[in-house]
Structure 1
Amino acid sequence: MSSAPEFDPKNMQFRQLGNSGLRVSILSFGGWLTLGGTQDAKATEALLKLAFEHGVNTFDTAEVYSGGKCEIAMGQAIKNLDYERSDLVIITKIFFGTGSKSPNGKGLSRKHIVEGLDASLKRLQMDYVDVVKAHRPDVSTPMHEIVRAFNHVINTGKAHYWGTSEWSSFQIQEAHDIADKLGLIPPVSDQCQYNMFHRERPEKEYAPLYEKYGYGTTIWSPLASGVLTGKYNDGVPDDSRLANHKDMAHRLTSEEGKANIEKVRKLTEIASSLDTTPTILALAWCASKKHVSTVILGATKPEQLEENLKALDLLEKLTPEVDAKIEEVLANKPEAESTWGR
């Protein structure tokens, strides 16, 4: 019987997930829009193997991705690759369900959190996930029920930590207050959209959470749906993802969209001066922020993933001088909250 492949972090960097003791690779791999959908089993294995061999230990999925097929594909690939479970950090998310019409088939009721996670574990062929996240807030369920339910799945060994995704700072603080009052386990990080064009929530709204709770972030859409790669500078290619999303493609022709394309052109010049691409610059910019725990990469081809992983090598070149040039181009840094009168 052959032994499991040994995890070699290479030159990967690791950060704590929020104020927890869990260490995640600053670049992680996610299956949204690809695994269980456009990728077959062989391609899925190739992507996960490449990520693992480059020191990525963190893999992200959700019950809703491809109606549960993403979890199936990821779990089967990990099983086929024979990785040690202890080498991996697996994140899944609960809220949207898998398409069931059952009134309890989605949301954050105790019933769906417990049963939804059980179903995710079955699809993943795993006994536990490292982190389970509330994929969105559920205003129809009392916060104390949500906190108690996540505390329960941790205490029963189905997850090690829990977190949030696109929750408001008020909702996260409410969860922490309830956890503190009842002696329960609080959430450790939020999975939020963050990129050069989408900064308000991660940089401004969440700022008090970083200071008060050491809250972490796992970042999705670091390339702004591909806009920051520069591939849409001359329009939307017929074979691109945006070609099938007319509303998103329409945004590129809006005044804001045109302004952003012009910014990408200027960012490309900065990238060229660093002997890199706008894609790698955008990913490294995200990963360089101290409030970011990990940046989730998505890819359909191994060569695309290998290219994106080069963002790790660019981090040391993102000096204060380079960052100042980037900020001059972006001109969208959120203003700090006023402390007047406090």
Structure 2
Amino acid sequence: MQFRYLGNSGFKISEITYGNWLTHGSQIENDIASSCVRAALDAGITTFDTADVYANTAAETVLGAALKGERRQSLEILTKVFGPTGPKGHNDVGLSRKHIMESIDGSLSRLQTDYVDLYQAHRFDVETPLEETMQAFADIVRQGKALYIGVSEWTSDQLRAGAALAKELNVQLISNQPEYSALWRVIEAEVVPTSVELGISQIVWSPVAQGVLSGKYLPGAALPEGSRATDRRGGADAVSRWLTEDVLTRVQELRPIAAELDLTPAQLAVAWVLQNDNVATAIIGASRPEQVTENVKASGVVIPAELLARIDGILGDVIERDPAHTAERSPKTREA
């Protein structure tokens, strides 16, 4: 396992992060979740990402139980705040001081830890003054409940404003967590250049495009039983946009490139995002321990420039590059 600095800090994380969105507390049983976490630890993963909104707080509880007994100093635990939790009342959502200060205590309790290494604003809150949000995050850092702060799916303008306030408050805003894959490149035009300027790294999610870049979805064929595309608890909605004949045909054409590098298509997908110097880590999820064991083999892989160019040529115009999609991820309201 290779490690990278997160943003302009001295904090290192594993370049493969284990995440539990859509799995822990919902799609898989707790014993399987624990086995996946154990597989991650055995493979050298030290960084674990979750959020209070995942399975309405259950994902944090499952991860905390799975990590119990591990040396805390050897782990990097990341969580997030914004989405509606609990009974989803009028103050159970957003980035108000009230919700942030209550949410960090809930997360720490569920994760069975005194602090998180990184506390992230899961989305930008258009209904709360940014000054209020950043002051609450700064207070959490000063209280020792979080070591660093980050955000998720913020636009370049939002990152710039947040970083300026963080600097005034003498805290470190060091990360952004966007979706990023060989198919979804909307951060490249604006978010990445701004982040480089500000000393912010990307913690990217869905590097395998919800499993599509694994090549398991074949053009013209039935969806594999038990796959994310057949899951009606959220997985199917997440993957549906990629299940077109054109996309699936082009993904199959990536197999020879993966073979040249002695990688599976999924490993190639994870390795691809790690070629971007502004990416500190790629988040992988798993419903089976062997998926973790396989995907960590992407760590340390160097893809030659000519193969990167071939990937671009194969995927062509099915690649989504429009930076406006980042702004679309910002909710226009924070109603539960």
CA RMSD of superposed structures (Å): 1.9
Aligned position for 1:173 = 160
Aligned residues: 316
Cα drift, residue 94 of structure 1: 0.3
AA at the equivalent of 2:24: L
Is contact 2:184-2:321 (8 Å) kept? no
Measured at CA, do residues 102 and 163 of structure 1 come closer, stay the same or move farther in structure 2, by a change above 3 Å? same
Structure 1 residue 61 corresponds to structure 2 residue 47: no
Q: Post-superposition shift, 1:252? A: 4.5
Q: Which moved more, 1:106-115 or 1:204-213?
A: 204-213
2:192 pairs with 1:207: yes
Q: Secondary structure at the match of 1:90?
A: strand
Q: Which is worse superposed, 33-42 or 302-311?
A: 33-42
Contact 1:121 1:127 in 2 (8 A): yes
Which of structures 1 and 2 has the larger relative contact order (alpha carbons within 8 angstroms, sep 6+)? 2
Aligned residue identity for 2:241: R
Q: TM-score, normalised by structure 2?
A: 0.89
CA distance 1:74–1:326, change in 2 (3 Å): same
> Which of the residues 287, 291, 304 maps onto 1:319?
304
CA distance in 2, matches of 1:101, 1:334: 34
| Structure 2 Cα separation of the partners of residues 289 and 46 of structure 1 | 30
> What is the rounded CA distance, in whole Å, between the counterparts of 1:45 and 1:105 in structure 2?
28
Q: How much has 1:274 moved relative to structure 2?
A: 2.6
Q: Is the 8 A contact 1:147 1:184 kept in 2?
A: no
- Picking from 42, 54, 73, the partner of 2:31 is 42
2:177 aligned counterpart, secondary structure: strand
Counterpart position of 2:127: 140
User: Conserved in 2, the CA contact under 8 Å of 1:175 and 1:186?
Assistant: no
- CA gap of 1:192–1:155, structure 2 versus 1, over 3 A, is same
1:287 Cα deviation after fit: 1.5
1:251 to 233, 238, 241: 241
How much has 1:43 moved relative to structure 2? 2.0
Conserved 8 A contact 1:58-1:89: yes
Q: Which of residues 159, 184, 193 is equivalent to 2:179?
A: 193
**C-alpha contact (below 8 Å) 2:153/2:176 kept by paired residues:** yes
Secondary structure of residue in 1 paired with 2:208: coil
Q: Please, which of 150, 173, 180 is the counterpart of residue 137 of structure 2?
A: 150
Contact 1:91 1:133 in 2 (8 A): yes
- Given the superposition, is the C-alpha separation of residues 301 and 229 from structure 1 closer, same or farther in structure 2, using an over 3 Å criterion? same
Tell me, what secondary structure is at the counterpart of 1:310? helix
Structure 2 gap segments, 5+ residues each: 324-336
Given the alignment, which residue of 264, 270, 295 partners 2:251? 264
Q: TM-score, length-normalised on structure 1? A: 0.87
Aligned residues of 1:148 and 1:184 also touching (Cα < 8 A): no
- Conserved 8 A contact 2:156-2:195: no
Give the 3-state SS of the residue equivalent to 1:35 in structure 2: coil
Residues 1:299 and 2:289 are matched in the alignment: no
- Return the offset for 1:305: 1.1
Offset, 1:333: 8.5
Instruction: Give secondary structure in 2 for the equivalent of 1:24.
Output: strand
Q: Give the aligned residue type for 2:166.
A: A
Gaps of 5+ in 1: 1-11, 337-342
- 1-side partners of 2:283 and 2:114: how far apart? 23
Separation in 2 of the partners of 1:131 and 1:170? 22
Q: How many angstroms apart in 1 are the aligned matches of 2:172 and 2:9?
A: 10
Identity, % of aligned positions: 41
Greater C-alpha radius of gyration: 1
Contact 1:133/1:162 (<8 A) preserved: yes
User: 2: distance between equivalents of 1:250 and 1:277?
Assistant: 22
* Per-residue deviation, residues 243-298 of structure 1 (Å, max 9, x unmatched): 23565565345xxx322112101111211233322111111111221110110110
